[in-house]
Structure 1
Amino acid sequence: MADLVTPGELRQLIAAPHPDVAPLPRATEYADGVRALHGVPYADLDGARPLELDLWLPAPAGPAPLVLFVHGGAWRRGRRGDMGVRTREWTPGPFEQLAAAGLAVACVDYRLSGEATFPAPLDDLRSALRWLGLRTAELGVDSERTVVWGESAGGHLASMLALTHDEPRLAGAVIWYGPADLTTRREPFDPENPATPEALLLGGAPALVPELADAASPLKRVHADAPPFLVVHGEADSMVACSHGRELAEALRAAGAPVELRTVPGADHGWHGVDEAEVRRIFTDSLDFVRQRT
């Protein structure tokens, strides 16, 4: 006769292992010794979906520097493995290329604005860093050499993480066309409109929750001890005005923090409007920035 257990004990028995101790999935093998672990749980939230990451690993050669990649999608949608429309058809893909260059890459889920409001997605990125630090030995990564890289809404969250995360201090931040200010009217953004992506992120029109909008604006969080930033923004961006990138870089420079700004003539959001060679240059320059700081 099977051992009798209480309902509470049974729940514990049938629950999936906690992400801190769960076995890692089998790796998929790619060229040049690159491996990928897809769908690795990193956080188990009560009443919410488990949060997962994809981990791209270079050929074993000692602990690898780490890129924490944060996807875009107006904080409302998006997929962790998507670096943007202009990279979707690349073969090999952008994350495989980063791993082939010797970098580990963690592409992370975070709670979207239909699931939870700010600061939930930022908390999720911190949880991912905690999990990666906990399991560095078996993953073969050096979490103390981490650069955060984000595009669009992910660029906003990457900026926020770089400016507010202290332990361990990040090695750098790559920001592609990310919003830097959720408080000031800039076409097409209206801080009084309760239906904008920014308002949905905050849970209210920014003009009506000014303290929260300030707290969620990288431009308001700049300080002298910020890690090095690479800010890349299209000069013709019709969704997130180029002034976001320019003013973030100016504020970092004024505070005495290291920053490189590159504005791209003719580039709209997502690098629309420029040729493939220019998109490749932006990617390569961003890769070089990461390698120089790790």
Structure 2
Amino acid sequence: MKPRRFPVPAPATEGDLTIWRDAVVGEVSGFRPLTADIHRPADDRQRPLVVWIHGGAWRKGSNKGDAVARIPERLLEAGYAVARVTYRLSGEAKFPAQLHDVKAAVRWVRHHAAELGVDPARIGVWGESAGGHLATLLALTGKDPELAGDVGVLDQSDSVAAAVVWYGPSNLLSMAAQNHPEGLQDHDDPDSPESRLVGGPVQDLPKESAAASPVTYVSDAAPPILLVHGDEDRIVPVGQSIELHQRLSDAGARVQLRIVNGADHCLIGADPEPEVAASIAHLDRSLKPA
């Protein structure tokens, strides 16, 4: 059976924004529709678009929730369209369902790019925490048909041209060893977010844990990636971004790492403004014409 081509819903205009709320980007049997909220400046210009992926340990969170440092709003102010996407949580489905869902959102946006007024060649991704993990995977697997899934539109690319990753897990198998001295959880525990994501204790499922780890997919074909991480992160160890940065650098990929001194998870304890500015500048270099 051919996948349904979910249409673009009627837009609303609020102030200087055009908004498409709860656009259905795909359906999974027995599950709520996968949706996205698309915001863009209310004009006729073709805009680059950034997919925003929320965090929440893969267990909670919403595309409608407040984001650290008002990131989606800051992107709109910088002239981007923004797609705030949903994905199945770990209590609903195991990995790779979450990756399949965000890929479906990218393909839907690209399929409807003309109606949304966005440039299908200038799509980037930004995620934080668990959303950062999915953003990294999205960036590294855009040309891997085995990880595309079968959700939503299938005849479009799910690749992205740039990625920003804030304090995202990169190797589920090394998180426990890299834990902060005052780390707030045992990442190898059967009830850890990582174990729930793969369906059992991380170290007991090395194949599944590796498949869910961005470091597995590192190559020189990666789009430009910016990693941002606090050096006092007690949830996702800073070693996760250091490890990913090293592997990407060794592979010849374009990657930059910004370690924020004194910052815990969500950059608590530091001023996020320099990191927001650096992240938008990183996207500008890839997604905005000179």
Question: Against the structure 1 CA distance between its residues 79 and 205, is the aligned structure 2 distance closer, same or farther, given a 3 Å change threshold?
Answer: same
Identical pairs, percent: 42
Q: How big is the shift at 1:190?
A: 4.2
> Which residue does the alignment assign to 2:161?
171
Is 1:149–2:126 an aligned residue pair?
Answer: yes
3-state SS in 1 of match to 2:275: helix
1:69 maps onto 2:46 in alignment: no
In structure 2, which of residues 68, 77, 87 is the aligned counterpart of residue 110 of structure 1?
87
Question: Residue 136 of structure 2: which of 147, 154, 159 is its match?
Answer: 159
Partner of 2:37: 54
Task: Give a deviation string over 1:2-33, Cα, whole Å, max 9, x none.
Answer: xxxxxxxxxxxxxxxx9734351331313xx3
Residues 12-69 of structure 1: per-residue CA shift (max 9 Å, x gap): xxxxxx9734351331313xx3222222211122110011111111232432111011
Unmatched 5+ stretches in structure 1: 1-17, 88-92
Letter paired with 1:292: R
Mapping for residues 113-132 of structure 1, pairs under 5 Å: 113-132=90-109
Counting matched residue pairs gives 266
Query: After TM superposition, what 4+ stretches of structure 1 lie above 6 angstroms from structure 2?
Result: none
State the 1:234 CA deviation.
0.3
Residue aligned with 2:20, SS:
strand
TM-score by length of 1: 0.86
Give the partner amino acid of 1:209: L
Are the structure 2 counterparts of residues 98 and 59 from structure 1 closer, same or farther at C-alpha, using a change threshold of 3 Å?
Answer: same
Task: Determine helix, strand or coil for the equivalent of 1:174.
Answer: strand
The structure, 1 or 2, with the larger RCO (C-alpha pairs under 8 Å, 6+ apart) is: 2
Query: Does the CA-based 8 Å contact 1:83-1:151 persist in structure 2?
Result: no
Once the two structures are overlaid, the 10-residue window that deviates more, 140-149 or 21-30, is 21-30
* TM-score (structure 2 length as normaliser): 0.87
Cα 1:83–1:175, aligned 2, differ >3 Å: closer, same or farther?
farther
Equivalent residues of 1:66, 1:105 under 8 A apart: yes
User: How far did residue 222 of structure 1 move?
Assistant: 0.7
Residues 56 and 96 in structure 1, CA contact (< 8 A), matched pair in contact too: no
Question: What's the secondary structure of 1:227's corresponding residue?
Answer: coil
Kindly provide the amino acid, as one letter, of the partner of residue 120 in structure 1: A
Aligned equivalents of 1:47, 1:168: Cα separation in 2: 24
